[in-house]
């Protein structure tokens, strides 16, 4: 009788789904619905004022020079914030201090695979 | 309330400080803190002794000593609680206190730290400190038995307890002097988790500091950011909206429940009743998910802002809180009834670590430790901040200090907190915007503010000085554990070795909270911190 029960278990586990799921299948719904998400720049709205970088509590934002623009005959550098997601504490302060709503707190999960870029 | 500008400091000469302190102690029996402020322009160090009576009045006594002759008498003979606060100042500012029992010993900084380096002086740069610390760590490992040389007789045994010990959740060292199995003396050595928060705070803006001070503690993080906000709001003359005050109070009380319930669970762990630990921590998860619901984070809430809170909370969420809290209360009462009727546990914690009110006041104890002896010292009643003055609640007191009474005080405080949250949700103004228009504080005008709040572990004290700049000139933090540690070490005497974990942890120690001073930069000194790949290579070679 005991062997029969054991056999039943074996057959069941052979044909049932594994209790762990591959990472690709849990892409949605991993973030807590209340979390603030992670900051993402909307480059079209950004003016390069660097208010976010000045107020970031963990100094995770650096202003990078990405190009040049002509203002009244002078060439000025164009600056855009760059986020270091390893330093970031995901507090959302940068999005809140931005006057132009150029930083969005996004919730969709990005899955990093070997070789993929941030 | 909860904070006040320092306007009337009583100036005294350094040599008469003992006399003045003993006079002050007769009407203000509780020494809160000894704050040192370095003034590099006037080349002097100001020492502010803050005293309080137990009814909300503060007395600040100030004295100035020149930079080149940093000596003054210690007040430890009249106020024993001062010894640890003075020692903190002495190690961080290089001030010598004549007659302090800790003189010549290292309590806070590592033993290898050079004698002439004093991290909190304004002219010491962070980069220089990093070099000092790196040099210190590269040396040979040294083993010290701090201050135990007077016990060289053969009848006693010196037993190091910690820094790494299964009973302690954080590294801290106590050297126990044993006679047989009985403890005769305890020498604390704190400071294994110094992070340099007071020094870092001076180099960051007020807004950035708000997030820094939140990281002092992983359990009572919100109360740290709230007290800092109270101090800065006083400096900026900003008043938060009523809804913001209510929301802050709700979060702080949820945090108190979570902290106390965590401790009660750990009590089970320390006394060998591990099922209790699991049951209670399962209950605590309800509170954690409420914190997640309200603020977006479970631990470091990042919820508060100067002049309000950072996001509004909908009515729907508040109703969920009220519902979950009611469920929690029912489960909690049932569980506590079951646990406290289990005799082996009650017998284990009854009558150990005994102390009385006088003893606790003399050594400067705060929080549930002092309330267990019957002294109703609770900052929420004594100096109401938030909306505590509009809410009807009782201060829980016990019948005499021992581990059992401290436990009972914490158990009842959880129920009291549930009561406060329920009232807050009922009274909360619904149609109001608690989010301030601007979050950035900018330049803060000159001023000194002291703030006091009731953290889950007891009275928390902040001193913030602004000097017309974006950064604070000085932030002094006195956490409840530092106030309680002397009493914890003192009441161990006379008990056996097996009682040590239960008694030490009965003060709900948060060692990381009281250690804030050293700076370790792992980016610049890769000698000490080995990266993963190197470690892997090394391990292969070893094989």
Displacement of CA A73 from its chain's centroid (Å): 39
Q: What is the ipTM of this complex?
A: 0.77
Q: Contact B296/A36, CB-based, under 8 Å?
A: yes
Residue numbers in A near B310 (CB within 8 A): 92, 96
Provide the pLDDT for residue B512: 67
Task: Extract the tokens encoding B189.
Answer: 């050595």
Cβ distance of A51 and B440 shorter than 8 Å: yes
What pLDDT, on a 0 to 100 scale, did the predictor assign at position A24? 56
Contact yes or no for B211 and A32 at CB 8 A: no
Bridge partner residues of B188 (DSSP): B174
CB-CB: which of B296, B300, B440 is closest to A34?
A: B296
Cα-flanking dihedrals φ and ψ of residue B274, to 5°? Answer: -75, -25
Nearest to A55 among B208, B292, B300 (CB): B208
Look at residues B70, B78, B80, B72 and name the one whose alpha carbon lies nearest to residue B101: B80
Closest partner CB to B208 (pick from A32, A51, A57): A57
For B169, residues 6+ apart whose C-beta sits below 8 A from its C-beta are: B266
Position B27 scores a pLDDT of 92
Chain B residues with CB-CB distance to A35 below 8 A:
292, 296-297
Between CA B312 and CA B307 the distance in angstroms is: 13
| N-term to C-term CA, chain B | 63
Cis before B22 (ω within 30): no
Candidates B211, B292, B310; nearest CB to A34: B292
Question: What distance lies between CA A54 and its chain's CA centroid?
Answer: 21
The distance in angstroms from the start CA to the end CA of chain A is 56
Task: Please tell me the distance in Å from A13's CA to the nearest CA on chain B.
Answer: 30
pTM of the predicted model as reported, rounded to 2 decimal places: 0.87
Least Cα separation, residue B424 to chain A (angstroms): 22
Position B522 scores a pLDDT of 36
- The rounded distance, in Å, linking the Cα atoms of B517 and B193 is 9
User: Mean pLDDT per segment of 10 residues, for chain B of length 543 residues?
Assistant: 77 90 91 92 92 88 91 91 90 90 79 80 82 69 51 69 78 82 83 84 90 90 93 91 94 95 91 90 92 90 91 92 95 93 91 90 91 92 92 92 92 95 93 86 88 92 92 92 88 88 82 51 35 50 48
Give the largest Cα separation in chain A, rounded: 92
Hey, are the CB atoms on B296 and A96 less than 8 Å from each other? no
How far lies B241's CA from each of B211, B246, B502, in Å? 21, 9, 43
Q: Give B449→chain A minimum CA distance, Å.
A: 23
Contact A34 B205 (CB under 8 A): no
> How far is residue B186's CA from residue B177's CA, in Å, rounded to a whole number?
6
The two tokens of residue B450 are: 């002291």
| B61 vs B443: CA distance, rounded Å | 28
Show the tokens assigned to B351: 């009558």
pLDDT value at residue A111:
60
Residue showing tokens 């806070």: B108
pLDDT in tens, A27-71: 555 567 788 888 999 999 999 888 999 989 999 999 999 888 888
């Amino acid at each position: 009788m005991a062997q029969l029960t054991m056999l039943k278990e074996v057959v069941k586990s052979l044909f049932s789904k594994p209790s762990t799921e591959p990472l690709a299948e849990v892409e949605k719904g991993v973030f807590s619905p209340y979390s603030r998400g992670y900051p993402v720049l909307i480059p079209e709205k950004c003016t390069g004022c660097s208010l976010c970088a000045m107020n970031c509590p963990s100094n995770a934002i650096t202003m990078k020079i990405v190009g040049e623009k002509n203002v009244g005959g002078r060439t000025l550098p164009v600056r855009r914030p760059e986020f270091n997601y390893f330093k970031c504490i995901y507090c959302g302060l940068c999005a809140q201090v931005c006057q132009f709503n150029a930083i969005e707190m996004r919730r969709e999960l990005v899955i990093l695979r070997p070789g993929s870029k941030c | 309330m909860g904070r006040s500008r320092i306007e009337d400091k009583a100036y005294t000469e350094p040599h008469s400080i003992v006399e003045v302190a003993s006079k002050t102690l007769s009407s203000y029996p509780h020494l809160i803190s000894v704050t040192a402020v370095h003034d590099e322009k006037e080349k002097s160090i100001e020492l502010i002794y803050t005293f309080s009576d137990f009814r909300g009045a503060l007395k600040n006594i100030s004295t100035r000593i020149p930079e080149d002759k940093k000596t003054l008498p210690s007040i430890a003979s009249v106020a024993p609680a001062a010894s640890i606060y003075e020692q903190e100042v002495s190690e961080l500012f290089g001030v010598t206190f004549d007659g302090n029992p800790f003189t010549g010993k290292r309590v806070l900084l590592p033993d290898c730290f050079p004698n002439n380096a004093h991290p909190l002086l304004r002219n010491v740069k962070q980069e220089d400190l990093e070099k000092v610390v790196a040099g210190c760590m590269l040396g040979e490992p040294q083993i010290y038995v701090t201050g135990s040389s007077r016990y060289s007789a053969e009848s006693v045994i010196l037993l190091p307890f910690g820094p790494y010990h299964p009973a302690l959740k954080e590294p801290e060292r106590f050297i126990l002097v044993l006679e047989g199995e009985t403890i005769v003396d305890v020498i604390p050595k704190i400071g294994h988790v110094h992070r340099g928060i007071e020094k870092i705070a001076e180099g960051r803006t007020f807004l950035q500091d708000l997030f820094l001070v939140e990281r002092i503690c992983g359990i009572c993080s919100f109360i740290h950011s709230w007290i800092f906000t109270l101090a800065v709001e006083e400096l900026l003359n900003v008043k938060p909206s009523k809804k913001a005050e209510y929301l802050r109070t709700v979060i702080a009380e949820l945090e108190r429940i979570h902290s106390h319930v965590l401790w009660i669970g750990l009590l089970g762990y320390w006394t060998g009743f591990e099922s209790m630990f699991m049951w209670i921590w399962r209950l605590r998860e309800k509170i954690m998910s409420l914190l997640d619901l309200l603020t977006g984070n479970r631990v470091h809430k990042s919820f508060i802002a100067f002049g309000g809170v950072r996001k509004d909370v909908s009515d729907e969420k508040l109703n969920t809180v009220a519902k979950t809290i009611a469920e929690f209360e029912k489960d909690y009462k049932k569980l506590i009834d079951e646990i406290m009727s289990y005799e082996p546990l009650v017998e284990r914690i009854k009558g150990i670590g005994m102390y009385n009110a006088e003893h606790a006041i003399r050594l400067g104890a705060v929080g549930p430790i002092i309330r267990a002896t019957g002294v109703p010292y609770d900052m929420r009643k004594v100096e109401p901040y938030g909306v505590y003055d509009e809410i009807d609640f009782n201060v829980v007191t016990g019948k005499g200090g021992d581990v059992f009474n401290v436990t009972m005080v914490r158990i009842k405080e959880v129920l009291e907190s549930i009561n406060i949250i329920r009232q807050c949700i009922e009274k909360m103004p619904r149609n109001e915007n608690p989010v301030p228009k601007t979050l950035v504080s900018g330049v803060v005008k000159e001023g000194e503010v002291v703030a006091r709040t009731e953290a889950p572990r007891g009275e928390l004290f902040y001193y913030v000085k602004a000097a017309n700049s974006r950064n604070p000139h000085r932030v002094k933090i006195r956490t409840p554990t530092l106030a309680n540690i002397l009493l914890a070490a003192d009441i161990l005497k006379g008990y056996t070795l097996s009682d040590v974990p239960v008694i030490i942890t009965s003060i709900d120690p948060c060692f990381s909270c009281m250690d804030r001073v050293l700076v370790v930069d792992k980016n610049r000194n890769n000698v000490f911190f080995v990266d993963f790949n190197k470690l892997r290579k090394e391990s292969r070679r070893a094989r």
